[in-house]
Structure 1
Amino acid sequence: MGFTSALVVEEIDGEFWKVREPLIYQGAEETFEIPEGFRTDFASVPRPLVWLIPRYGVYTRAAILHDYVLRTEKVGKADADGLFRRVLRECDVSRPRRWMMWAAVRLGSKLAGISPAAFVVWLVIAVLSVIFLAIPTVAVTVFLVLFWFIELIAWVVDRGAPPERRTRVPRPQMKT
């Protein structure tokens, strides 16, 4: 069980990548083949949290598989999220990180198909995650906004310069 092929991707732009060779995952009962050309953003992590969970890492293949099974509706949302957690374990993601990532994707799936017992587990993990993440996330967010203002000022100054002296600074974008 597990991935039976290497991950080969090509950058499309600063946010998206495409799979260049099929990525194959052999599960207990099913095989999933992510086709060449499949577009992904790797792990969809809010910007203030990338200090803890970057958009890519040992869990990249699990994130791509999760994107694929959700987008193609190969399995339901609850099963896709459970598969994601299992594959994170197979990729040697630490237990706290994988449960936190699972809680986040379950929230993203609007807790679709969750049983009462699984909801209690999710709630405990979500509350502990919020307690752990609250202060650093607020601090990072404050500094991201501050840096966005600095970039905005630099952009305005650059726009006011004569055309031959402009450095073509791109318009700042607040991304979360």
Structure 2
Amino acid sequence: MSFVGIGPVVEGIDAEFWRVTEPLIYRGATEEFVVPVGFRTDFASVPRALVWLIPRYGIYTRAAILHDYLLRSQVVSVAAADGIFRRSMRELGVSMPRRWMMWAAVRAAHGLRGASIADIARFVLVAVPSVLFLAVPAVVVTVFLILFWMVELAFWAGRRLARRTDAPPPDPQMNTA
């Protein structure tokens, strides 16, 4: 069970999305999944306030692309896609705390659809400490992001107002020298 090759090879579409330019192949326990050329991904969907802890891409990029593909193609259930996501991150060498937090986040995002009692217990064991661990830094980062956006807005508005009050440039044909 692992990814085949070094992929993924992607090209940027815009500031948020990427397109797979070579097939990404993952061999599972009983099935093989092929993310086709042209598949569009946003890598890991991480809220902006948490990007400092879990960037949108990293050692887990292939697992994130595979997870996006499994969800959109519906070749497996949501719960199975989330499980393959966690397993493939382990195979890629993602640290246990990071992979379990990422798994808990996707399970929470999917409302624990199709979850077994064991999955729910694992989710609670990971999610509660993760929320406690992340709450303070996430709030601090969010407050400072809002403050930064306000400062940017103030400078933007000031620049716009300054342009309106500036005298027009002198006409080069009126040069008396």
TM over 0.5: yes
| In structure 2, C-alpha distance between the alignment counterparts of 1:159 and 1:71, rounded to whole Å | 44
User: What is residue 170 of structure 2 aligned with on the other side?
Assistant: none
User: What is residue 36 of structure 2 aligned with on the other side?
Assistant: 35
How do 1:55-94 and structure 2 match up within 5 A?
55-94=56-95
Greater mean deviation of Cα atoms: 5-14 or 140-149: 5-14
User: What is residue 172 of structure 2 aligned with on the other side?
Assistant: none
Moved over 3 A (4+): none
Q: Cα 1:99–1:37, aligned 2, differ >3 Å: closer, same or farther?
A: same
Q: Percent identity at matched positions?
A: 62
Cα deviations by residue, 1:48-107 (Å, 9 ceiling, x for unpaired): 111110000000000000000000101000000000000000010011111110000001
In structure 2, the residue corresponding to 1:33 is in which secondary structure? strand
User: What is residue 174 of structure 1 aligned with on the other side?
Assistant: none
| In structure 1, C-alpha distance between the alignment counterparts of 2:3 and 2:139, rounded to whole Å | 37
User: What is residue 4 of structure 1 aligned with on the other side?
Assistant: 4
| In structure 2, C-alpha distance between the alignment counterparts of 1:73 and 1:159, rounded to whole Å | 49
1:159 equivalent to 2:141? Answer: no
User: What is residue 49 of structure 1 aligned with on the other side?
Assistant: 50
Unaligned runs of 5+ in 1: 166-176
| In structure 2, C-alpha distance between the alignment counterparts of 1:120 and 1:88, rounded to whole Å | 20
Deviation at 1:159, TM superposition (A): 2.8
User: What's the TM-score once normalised by structure 2's chain length?
Assistant: 0.89
| In structure 1, C-alpha distance between the alignment counterparts of 2:40 and 2:26, rounded to whole Å | 17
User: What is residue 118 of structure 2 aligned with on the other side?
Assistant: 117
Report the residue type matching 1:83 in the other structure: I
Larger radius of gyration: 2
In structure 1, the residue corresponding to 2:59 is in which secondary structure? coil
Report the residue type matching 1:29 in the other structure: T
| In structure 1, C-alpha distance between the alignment counterparts of 2:161 and 2:13, rounded to whole Å | 32
Deviation at 1:157, TM superposition (A): 2.2
User: What is residue 126 of structure 1 aligned with on the other side?
Assistant: 127
User: What is residue 136 of structure 1 aligned with on the other side?
Assistant: 137
Deviation at 1:27, TM superposition (A): 1.1
| In structure 2, C-alpha distance between the alignment counterparts of 1:161 and 1:18, rounded to whole Å | 42
Across the aligned residues of Structure 1 and Structure 2, the Cα RMSD in angstroms comes to 1.3
Deviation at 1:14, TM superposition (A): 1.1
Report the residue type matching 1:9 in the other structure: V
| In structure 2, C-alpha distance between the alignment counterparts of 1:142 and 1:135, rounded to whole Å | 11
